Each structure stands twice: as structure tokens, then as C-alpha cells.
Amino acid sequence: MATIRDVAKLANVSVATVSRVLNNKGYVNADTKKRVNQAIEQLHYSPNDVARTLFRGRSKMIALFVPDIMNPFFPKLARAVEDIANKNNYTFVLCNTDDDLEKELTYMNALKQKSVDGMIVVSSRIQKEHLDKINVPVIALDRIFSSNLSMITVNNYEGAKEATAYLQAIGCQRIAHICGPETASNTMERLRGYMDVVREKEWFLSSYIVSGEYNLQKAKEITMELLMNHPEIDGIFAANDLMGIGALKAAESLGRRVPEDLAVIGFDGIIDGETTSPTLTTMVQPIYDMGTCAAEMLIEQINNQALPKKNREFPVQLIERQSTKRKRDANG
């Protein structure tokens, strides 16, 4: 592989001149420039990124930390971040953490040693003090894990309220909630939204709240248990779509008709909700936009570390599909 020295020799100039041409910095005679460019062409030269990184202390590389790449929410997010990264000539690195603090820290250290320029982090575990050692811009996404960090979130609380109220509006008498991992702030907000709608209802029981993980299989199991203990339940608000699909599967196993006997609403708006039968009503998050926003915000902060931290909250939107729809048709 050709180096800058080879180019310099061939063009009969010094490496400094080549560097100037390469970076469009400083004066260089038009003729000389042409000669250098010819030499570059001829040698198929392209500058070694590692050497640049070593010198600059910056790598033009950003990372996205996600807890579970198999949850379709995250590929979509990754896609958005990747697109923005590419557009700005950044290399994109995806880190799958299993929501495991040790894995997260290992990755962070490894990336720091590679002079990563910034990170977008979806984590329930990371604390402020872990970030102190890592001296690069960090954007928190989806789950809040520290104050004085730029954050991208959705209006989980309002969305959860709306979802629960909607189930009421279509005629559900007993509404249960399947919530996610307690360590995740988004889950807690969604729970709070649900609670604020149902708390004062005479029918409400704390056993209408069951908790699992953001995971289909587990959600199916706990929903089956829930429905067997409480056959009166006719509406379920699941804290995310994966769990909503699990609830759908549970209903199917138990022979409960959806939406006639049981209405189900999810949260996220991952594509898969459309592939189920019945399709899943859900509170849609603008996943791609969130990823885009996070990446742009990160790059902005990389370019100017002194910039004040920003927060951005996206709205969620109710999309009615089959898992609730006919119920409203029947009742109103």
C-alpha cells in the first residue's frame, strides 16, 4: 500500500505538500497540485486512517449501544444512525450489550482506546460515574440514565395514558398492564401513565400489573398466567410491541378472541406488529427520526464539545389495527 512518501517522491514534492493537497489546507501552486493528484491517482493512494487518527486523537467513528439487536426496534434505530454517520463520513460501530453492565463497560473502554469520537447509548445500567472516565460526547436514547447528558426520548408517560384511556374508550372494563424491566426508565414512565388512568377505578387490582422483560416468550407466559388468574380482563396494555405480540399469542393459546374478548395494545411501532394476525394496535414511536436526531446531535457535539446539553422528546402516535379495532366498531 502506497504511503504519502511514495506520492511525494513520484510528484517530486515534499510530504507536506501532499498533505496540503490531501486536506485542502494551506497554499499550493495549481501546477504542483495537479502533479500531486496525478501521483495519487497513479499509485491508487489513499491516506491511512490509523495514522490520521493517531495524530488527531479522533477517529471519525461513532458507536451505538443497544441492549438487544434482535428486537426489531434496534435495527431500525441502527439504520438511522448509520445513515447519518455515513452522510458525515463517520464510521459506524454497533455494540450489542445484552443490557449487561460489564459488556457495556468493556465496549466503552475498547472504543475509548480506539479514539471513538462519540456514542449513542441505550442503556438501563450505565450510571453517570461510568461515563466520567470516558471523555467523549454521549447521547442517551430511549432510556434516561443520567442527568446532564443530552437525551432523546419519547413521551412515554403521555403515550401510556393515551393507550390506557383508548382501551377504556373502546369499552374495556378491566385493563391489565404488562410492564418491562424495572431498571428501564421508559418502562417506569409507561407504568406511571397506566396507573394514573386506572388507579382510582373501583375495579383496579394491583395484580393487574405483571412484569416481564422486553421479550416475546416471557410475555406470553406471564400473560397466560394473568389471564388464567383474571379471566375478567378484557384489555391489555403491553409496555412494548414484542410483549404485545406475546400477549396476542397467549390469547390465541387460551382461545380468547382478539379483539372481541380481549383488546391488546402495544408500544413501539416495530414492523412486526403488522405481520401478526390480528395486527397489533400500538403507540408508534418515530424510531428512525429518533435515531437521526440522536446521530445529528452527537455529531454536533463532537464538533463543538462546549455545546450545552440538549434534550428532545418525540411524541408517540396511536395507530389502530385489528387487535382493538373491531371492538370500537361494535361499541361505538
Partner DNA sequence: GTGAAAGCGCTAACAC
Partner DNA sequence: GTGTTAGCGCTTTCAC
**Which residues of this protein are in contact with DNA, per CB under 7 A?**
1, 3-5, 12-17, 19-20, 22-23, 25-29, 31-33, 45, 47-48, 51-52, 54-57
Q: In angstroms, what is the minimal distance from the CB of 272 to DNA?
A: 45
72 is in the binding site of which of a copy of itself, DNA, none (Cβ under 5 to 8 A by kind)?
A: a copy of itself
Report the partner that residue 26 touches, choosing among DNA, a copy of itself, none (CB closer than 5 to 8 A by kind). Answer: DNA
Q: How far apart are CA 115 and CA 156, in angstroms?
A: 34
Which of a copy of itself, DNA, none sits in contact with 69, Cβ below 5 to 8 A by type?
A: a copy of itself
Determine the Cα–Cα distance for residues 53 and 145; give it in Å rounded to an integer.
Answer: 30
| CB 169 to a copy of itself: min, Å | 26
Q: Identify which of residues 48 and 311 has a Cβ nearer to a copy of itself in the complex.
A: 48
The number of angstroms, rounded, from the C-alpha of 54 to the middle of its chain's C-alpha atoms is: 30
Among DNA, a copy of itself, none, partner that 308 touches (CB below 5 to 8 angstroms by kind): none
Task: Cite the DSSP H helix spans in the chain.
Answer: 4-11, 15-23, 30-43, 49-56, 73-87, 101-113, 128-133, 156-169, 185-198, 216-229, 241-253, 287-303, 322-331
Decide which of DNA, a copy of itself, none touches 79; Cβ closer than 5 to 8 Å per partner kind.
a copy of itself
- Which DSSP string do the residues of 114-143 spell out, in sequence order? TT--EEEE--SS--HHHHHHS-S-EEEESS
Question: Measured between alpha carbons, how far is 145 from 127 in angstroms, rounded to an integer?
Answer: 6
> CA-to-CA distance for 208 and 203, rounded, in angstroms?
10
Site residues, a copy of itself (CB under 8 A): 1, 44, 46-51, 53-54, 59, 69-70, 72, 74-76, 78-79, 82, 86, 91-96, 103, 106, 109-111, 113-115, 133, 135, 216, 245, 248-249, 252, 271-272, 275-278
Q: Which residues pair with 56 in a beta bridge?
A: none
